Amino acid sequence: MFRQSDKYEDLKNLVALSLIILLIGGIVFAFLYRNIRMAIVSYEIERLKKERRAAYIETEELRLQVARHSSADRMEKLFREKYGFLPVEVSQKISTYILPQIDRKNGPEGP
């Protein structure tokens, strides 16, 4: 019949085979998990790139609107409409000049 050592030999082989199957299964599971995570992260990166691009476009559109609404012609038009002022002509503009300083020690009278 069966000897005691044959029984243990079969048990050892069964345990060794089970460990090999678990090890291979673990490696396959880790490989699949890593690939699934990579796919999820890649999808998330692409989604965030699209969001960033949309935010950039929206920011540029807002900058364009700010530039358009703060132009000098528009500001003048709003000022005329709100306060009833007429546009300023060239002859009505006020010019200011900074005159050079006169040194009082060596003034026009001389030293």
Supply the pLDDT for residue 70: 75
pLDDT of res. 69:
76
Of residues 38 and 94, more confidently modeled: 38
Q: Which residues of 16-49 are buried (b: 16+ CB within 10 A; e: fewer)?
A: eeeeeeeeeeeeeeeeeeeeeeeeeeeeeeeeee
pTM over 0.75: no
What is the per-residue pLDDT across 40-69, written as a single tens digit (0 to 9) for each? 999 999 999 999 999 999 999 998 888 877
Is the Cβ–Cβ distance between 80 and 86 less than 8 Å? yes
Report the range of poorest mean pLDDT among 11-20, 76-85, 91-100.
Answer: 91-100
